[in-house]
Amino acid sequence: MAATGALAKKESTVASAAAKQKQLALVRVNVTGQSYDYFRPWQKKAPFSKRALGAVLPKGRVLVTADLVANQNYVELERAESGEKTAANVRVIDYEANLALLEPTEKSFLDGIKPLEITSDTVVGDRLAAWQLEPTGALLATEGLVTTVQMTPYPIDIGQFLTYRISIPMQYRENSYTVPLVKNNKLAGLLLRYDSRSQLLDAIPAPIITHFLKEADTQDYRGFPSAGFSFFPTRDPQLRDYAGEKGKGGVYVTNVEPGTPAMKAGLQVGDIVTGIGNHELDENGNYVDPLYGKIEFTNLLTAHAYAGDVVPLHIQRSGKPMQLNLTLEHRDAKDYVSPPYYLDQAPRYYVVGGLIFQELSRQYLKEWGANWQREAPQRFVYFDHFQSELFPERNRRIVILSQVLPANNTIGYDDLAYLTVTKVNGKEVKSLDDLAEAVKHPVEGFIKIETEEDPKQIELDATQVAAEAPALQENYGISSLQRLQ
């Protein structure tokens, strides 16, 4: 490709064309927010502020990443050229696809800006310009080359989404949190992550943005659909032979999650999925996309299909071809035993005496930081990771005793932490609501908590717990001893 040298060029054709446009379809987005403190679940952490860019779209909407506005308290839009500001609301947010739509409270705020159209035809070898703003409000455009189009996990690690990988030497500017990627003055993608060492940028591609916008126009945003099965390549001829697969291609179904579209459609472990709709799958699960060539079939379900769509699934079962019809659904975070994310919502907790009970979630584990998979309590990481295997009933939570606040009623218990609660006062506990209900019924004046791990049993004096509650709240600044909504 002749364009390799162009990466270093300051002035590219794409950029200069954009600069000629009078009013950029870019606004600054200033966000202040507060995350919940999972270690002190009754309070929020210190406020953060982020400055970013938003792409102005038709119908007076501004597109940003969900990352930017998650746990926000206040979102403000700022005109690039005038510095004029207005408050904005988050109209739709999809944490899994990492996209959000903002709307200014003043309807006229975006007047005079020609919104960006979206182009979905980007392919490997195309050049895209990253649009940033200079402090003056002038455009800073950097050009990069699309090197691959592939399925990758997004920050909220649920399934995989289509991603453009772009080789681009980005410069640091304030407001660079979300950066639009533009092709011929049309929006081609939004910055997902950037590695300054390798100068590789991953972008949320236009097909995902389009999908999000189309859903967002409906009354009730449902999110990206999933099928609910996991699969394994069938490259190994010995495995193909065992599965009775005589043709070519297809993937081996390794797990079908209860309650998901795949389960409802009758898919079974050991089936070979050979095609989806009109597309055939190869041994690695790739189909031939008209734009990108070989790419994983999950793209057909996320980018191209919507919740409620019926998708024909071609399978081989013990060598016999069959067709199953999947009615796709979006799986909500709350439909997991250990929810994968919990944003813009206050965490649930329940305090009994000095004992703090919470529900296990990946959001809680992520409180241990970027290396949470190594640093969080390993037993909980194991529960979270293997949740569908360990808790196939699905319709439950894992209640944990996360920590103990030293108080008179918890003397001798203060070293306890990270225990899994099985029963309270003899009643099984599968959610904090179960726990809250069971706590109300002490047995002979004692609240008895049973845990899966040692010490296996913890008893509190119910009267003492009630009597000491005000002092505990006062002492540790606990605004409320429970949050169950």
Partner 1 sequence: MKRIFVIGYAALLLASVAYAQESTPAPPPVEPQVPGQQPGASRSTPPGQAVVPVPVPIAPPKPNGPIQKSLVRITATAVDPDYRAPWNAGALERGVGAGFVISGNRILTNAHVVANTRYITVERDGDPNKYPAKVQFIANDCDLALITMPAPDFFKNMVPLKFGGIPALESTVSAYGYPIGGERMSVTTGIVSRIDFQLYTHSSVDQHLAIQISAQINPGNSGGPVMQDAKVVGVAFQGYSGDVAQGVAYMIPTPVINRFLKDISNGHYDEYPDLAITYAKLQNPAQRRFLGLQDDDRGVLVSSVIAAGPSDGILRPGDVLLAIDGHPIASDANVELDGERAQFEEVVERKFRGDSVKFDILRDKQSMAVTIKLYKPWPYSLQGHSYDVRPRYVLYGGLLFQPLSLDMLEAYRLTDLRLRHFFEYFILEQIYLQHPDVIVLSNILPDPINSYLAPYRGEIVDEINGKKIRTLDELSDALAKAPERIVIRMIGEGPPLVLDRDKVAAARERIKTRYNVLQEQNLEEKPASGLASAGR
Residues sharing a CB contact under 8 Å with residue 118, sequence separation 6 or more, in sequence order: 57, 186, 187, 188, 206, 209, 210, 213
Q: Judged by CB, which is closer to partner 1: 402, or 409?
A: 409
Q: Judged by CB, which is closer to partner 1: 80, or 158?
A: 158
CA 251, 258, 386 angle in degrees (round to 5)? Answer: 75
CA atoms of 280 and 267, how far apart (whole Å): 17
Cis peptide before 455 (omega within 30 of 0): yes
Q: Judged by CB, which is closer to partner 1: 219, or 371?
A: 371
For position 235 contacting partner 1 by CB under 8 A, the verdict is yes
The window from 23-31, 38-46, 331-339, 454-462 that contacts partner 1 (CB under 8 A) reads 454-462
Q: Across-strand partners of 311?
A: 326
For position 372 contacting partner 1 by CB under 8 A, the verdict is no
Farthest CA pair distance, the chain:
83
The nearest distance, CB 306 to partner 1, in angstroms, is 28
Query: Taking CB under 8 A as the criterion, which residues in 117-146 touch partner 1?
Result: none
Total site size for partner 1, rule CB under 8 A: 40
The nearest distance, CB 351 to partner 1, in angstroms, is 16
The nearest distance, CB 62 to partner 1, in angstroms, is 41
Q: Judged by CB, which is closer to partner 1: 44, or 366?
A: 366
For position 92 contacting partner 1 by CB under 8 A, the verdict is no
Which one among 2, 8, 46, 411 touches partner 1, defined by CB under 8 A? 411
SS (H, E, C) 72-130: EEEEEEEECCCCCEEEEEEEEEECCCCEEEEEECCHHHHCCCCCCEECCCCCCCCEEEE
For position 461 contacting partner 1 by CB under 8 A, the verdict is yes
Pair of tokens at residue 70: 């998650």
CA atoms of 469 and 475, how far apart (whole Å): 10
The nearest distance, CB 270 to partner 1, in angstroms, is 8
Query: Taking CB under 8 A as the criterion, which residues in 413-432 touch partner 1?
Result: 413
Both ends of the chain: CA-CA distance in Å?
57
Which one among 18, 53, 333, 458 touches partner 1, defined by CB under 8 A? 458
Q: Which of 166, 148, 138 is nearest to 7 (CA)?
A: 166
Q: Judged by CB, which is closer to partner 1: 299, or 425?
A: 425
- Find the radius of gyration of the CA atoms of the chain: 26
Q: Across-strand partners of 356?
A: 351, 403
User: Which H or E run includes 275?
Assistant: strand 272-276
The nearest distance, CB 453 to partner 1, in angstroms, is 8
SS3 content of the chain, % helix, strand, coil (to 5): 20, 35, 40
The nearest distance, CB 457 to partner 1, in angstroms, is 7
For position 448 contacting partner 1 by CB under 8 A, the verdict is yes
| Secondary structure letter of residue 347 according to DSSP | P
Neighbours of 217 (CB within 10 A): 9
Query: Taking CB under 8 A as the criterion, which residues in 378-397 touch partner 1?
Result: 378-379, 381-382, 385-386, 389
Q: Side chain identity at 156, as an amino acid letter?
A: I
CA atoms of 407 and 17, how far apart (whole Å): 68
The site string for partner 1 over 466-485 (x = CB under 8 A, - otherwise) reads --------------------
CA 284, 205, 115 angle in degrees (round to 5)? Answer: 165
The window from 13-21, 88-96, 181-189, 375-383 that contacts partner 1 (CB under 8 A) reads 375-383
User: What 3-state DSSP class applies to 359?
Assistant: strand
The nearest distance, CB 56 to partner 1, in angstroms, is 44
Q: Judged by CB, which is closer to partner 1: 47, or 237?
A: 237
The nearest distance, CB 248 to partner 1, in angstroms, is 15
Which one among 135, 412, 477, 485 touches partner 1, defined by CB under 8 A? 412
Q: Judged by CB, which is closer to partner 1: 229, or 357?
A: 229
CA atoms of 357 and 210, how far apart (whole Å): 41
Which residue do the tokens 């013990």 mark?
318
Query: Taking CB under 8 A as the criterion, which residues in 236-255 touch partner 1?
Result: 236, 238-239, 241-243, 252, 254-255
Residues lying near partner 1 in the complex (CB under 8 A): 230, 232-233, 235-236, 238-239, 241-243, 252, 254-255, 269-270, 374, 378-379, 381-382, 385-386, 389, 409-413, 446, 448, 453-461, 464
